[in-house]
Amino acid sequence: MKKSRKGLKFLIFFLIIFTLTYLGIYLYAKMSPKLSIKGANGYYLYDSNGDLYTTGSKDWVSLDNISENLIKATISIEDKNFYKHQGFDFLRIVKAMMVNVKNKSNSQGASTITQQLSKNLFLDFDKTWSRKMKEAWITIRLESHYSKDKILEGYLNTINYGGIFGIENAAKYYFGKDSKDLSLAEASILAGIPKNPSKYSPLTNLDKAKERQRIILDSMVKNKYINEVEAVRAYDEKLTFKRDEDSNDLKMMMYYQDAVMSELSNISSIPSSFTQTGGLKIYTNLDVNAQKILESSSNKNITNENIELAGIIMDPRSGKVLALTGGKDYDKSEFNRAIQARRQVGSTIKPFLYYSALENGFTPSTTFTSEKTTFSFSGNKTYTPKNYNDKYADGPISLAAAIAYSDNVYAVKTHLFLGDDALPDILRRVGINNSFSNLPSLALGAEEIDMLSMIGAYGTLANEGYKVKPYFISKVTDMDGNILYEYTPKPESILNKSTVYILNELLTTTYAKEFTSYNSPTCLSILSKMTHKYAVKSGTTNTDNLIFGYNKSLLVGLWTGYDDNKNVDSTDSSNLKNMWVDIMEEYLTGKTDDETWYEKPNNVVGVAIDPISGEVATNSNKAKVLYYIKGTEPTQDKSALDDAIPTIKLEE
């Protein structure tokens, strides 16, 4: 009995102290400056021409201009005691804790609408205790300064409806109408999205969205907002989505926006809270024309409905990312494969291997024997690389031919000759900072690398040896125009310009008809579409197709494959190559090679060679001009050729 009384006294004492503490904090919050929430979570994105193209809170609407259906649906599912608590629903918090302890999970949440609004006032969503304390403090400040209606208004104007922020934007995006005109059926669908935008978007997964809608309608019945008949009628109502009808809209633009927001979250000079800025103006490098070309080329060429896509278009001189897609349709999948996925890059890694080879004495005429080869290593380990379609010269081939045919045996021999550290070293120099495996298959692109890192690495080749960082944001200001951040490219010379020039010329062999022999160049099929000169390399693994190609004006990298790593086929590879060349040609319409190709360095000479042997050509019909550092070029004198080419011996 005494223990019960002591426990009761302790509970009463705790409640008194807690109440007084909370009142003290509340009064202190009341005396603190009033937060501005209109326009909060507002970010305005501008393209490379300075034109506004998307916004986080484009149309702020007052609560009396929002459908009662939407308001009731939101309160019912998100925070049924919204008008009764002071920012925190303590009873709900205790219940959620008990459920989570019982189920040994964190599945049960207890955030109020005010708490969720406080989260929306931040740029990022870190789950640190420091961040949670800031959110709690803002929650109290909001409750102390604003009426419940104003808090609800702020929440509905800033919440995420599947990449679309604010209820007015969402109503127009999904249904082509103002938020005040939403029916019960439409409102209950939209109210379900914020819990998990990628899962409950009706454009991504209508079945899941309908399941969520039923839960919301049932909660509205339980909370006496509607009756059973109205709930059934709303659930059965056929919905027409404007987004499905808008075939001219850019379905990939949101991937670029997500990449912008990802970069924004990593800029230390940007305040972590919108309450400190009142909103942000973000000036990006988006070239809307390039984005349209990227999307139209995808629609034209990527005919496999199930395969996924990633693509990046960059200006290699500055690092500006002009266009990007992380998938074929943002409505169907928000996963951004261009910046989030790591995939095997296949033969697109070879240009970096061959730059290292050129740097270490190889020339375009350096030969290895292309034949079926099993390499033996210590510990009785063996490795047998295979060429595509099992085609081999069964004799020596030049480095130029190895690039044209993407010969895997030649690549592995080069990798072993140079040593384990050569390829990882050059990859790190161009900005790929993986922990590389010490395996011969590294020469064939067995390493998993993200597309943005690869485009940055290729940018170094396209920019004549100067490394530039791929970037999306050029400048960020507050709503008054005060500059919070501005990026200035700082090209860093890391590769030899003359050696890069030779490599870039070698990468034109991938579509050079002079190399048609026992095999065909890997990109010969798209030669007929080319009106410009390009350096280009494709790559294929069992599960991935890639292509990177460029001149000094433009760099484009593309990938296709399946999220579940299902095998790709040759048609997918062919389609990707056609997509790439269509993008390059359309974007560079009207430009000449004098404008887009590289000027030959003074210490480089061109020689007409026989493509396979690498020797000086004796048949003009089978000659290809390739380039050498002066003094290393082949001559008619075979001894001079031997002096120019390193002696290469490998144990096979």
Q: Is residue 143 part of a domain?
A: yes
126 and 220 both lie in a single domain? yes
Beta carbons of 442 and 406 less than 8 angstroms apart: no
Q: Is residue 371 part of a domain?
A: yes
Catalytic annotation on 78?
yes
More confident residue, 286 or 108: 286
List, in sequence order, every residue forming a beta bridge with 375; answer none if it has no partner. 383
Res 517: pLDDT: 93
Q: Is residue 257 part of a domain?
A: no
- How many whole angstroms separate alpha carbon 14 and alpha carbon 245? 59
Count other Cβ atoms within 10 Å, centred on residue 108.
16
197 and 243 both lie in a single domain? yes
Count other Cβ atoms within 10 Å, centred on residue 545.
27
Number of domains observed in the structure of the chain = 3
Domain boundary among 223, 249, 275: 249
307-352 pLDDT, tens digit per residue, is 999 999 999 999 999 999 999 988 788 899 999 999 999 999 999 9
> Residue 188 burial (CB < 10 Å; 0-12/13-18/19+)?
buried
In this prediction, residue 246 has a pLDDT band, given cuts at 50, 70 and 90, of very low
340-393 pLDDT, tens digit per residue, is 999 999 999 999 999 999 999 999 999 999 999 999 887 788 999 999 889 999
487 and 353 both lie in a single domain? yes
Least confident piece of the model among 1-5, 149-153, 289-293, 381-385 = 1-5
In this prediction, residue 177 has a pLDDT band, given cuts at 50, 70 and 90, of very high
pLDDT average, residue stretch 50-61: 73
20 and 77 both lie in a single domain? no
C-alpha distances out from residue 650 to 357, 381, 394, 417, 443, Å: 15, 16, 16, 7, 16
What is the domain range of residue 231? 62-249
Q: Residue 282: how many CA atoms within 13 Å on its side-chain side?
A: 30
Residue 14, both tokens:
């705790």
169 and 299 both lie in a single domain? no
- How many whole angstroms separate alpha carbon 652 and alpha carbon 649? 9
Q: Is residue 468 part of a domain?
A: yes
Q: Is residue 185 part of a domain?
A: yes
In this prediction, residue 640 has a pLDDT band, given cuts at 50, 70 and 90, of very low
23 and 91 both lie in a single domain? no
Q: Is residue 324 part of a domain?
A: yes
540 and 453 both lie in a single domain? yes
Residues 6+ apart with CB under 8 A from 209: 189, 192, 193, 200, 201, 202
Residue 568, both tokens:
């790709």
C-alpha distances out from residue 487 to 240, 288, 476, Å: 43, 20, 9
One-character DSSP codes across 84-125: TSSS--HHHHHHHHHHHHHHTSS------HHHHHHHHTBS--
349 and 392 both lie in a single domain? yes
120 and 20 both lie in a single domain? no
Q: Is residue 587 part of a domain?
A: yes
- How many whole angstroms separate alpha carbon 84 and alpha carbon 213? 25
What does pLDDT average to over the chain? 87
C-alpha distances out from residue 293 to 239, 287, 327, 470, 549, Å: 32, 10, 15, 20, 16
- How many whole angstroms separate alpha carbon 2 and alpha carbon 528? 95
More confident residue, 295 or 144: 295
Characterize the bridge pairing of strands 280-284 and 43-46.
parallel
Q: Is residue 198 part of a domain?
A: yes
404 and 547 both lie in a single domain? yes
Residue 329: give its domain's CATH number. 3.40.710.10
Residues 6+ apart with CB under 8 A from 24: none
Residue 163: give its domain's CATH number. 1.10.3810.10
Least confident piece of the model among 266-270, 469-473, 524-528 = 266-270
Domain boundary among 249, 278, 301: 249
Choose the catalytic residue: 57, 67, 76, 78: 78
Catalytic annotation on 347?
yes
2 and 92 both lie in a single domain? no
216-245 pLDDT, tens digit per residue, is 999 999 999 999 999 999 999 999 988 644
Choose the catalytic residue: 118, 297, 347, 453: 347
402 and 507 both lie in a single domain? yes
Residues 6+ apart with CB under 8 A from 461: 351, 355, 430, 495, 500, 503, 504, 535, 550
Domain boundary among 249, 281, 301: 249
Size of the chain in residues: 652
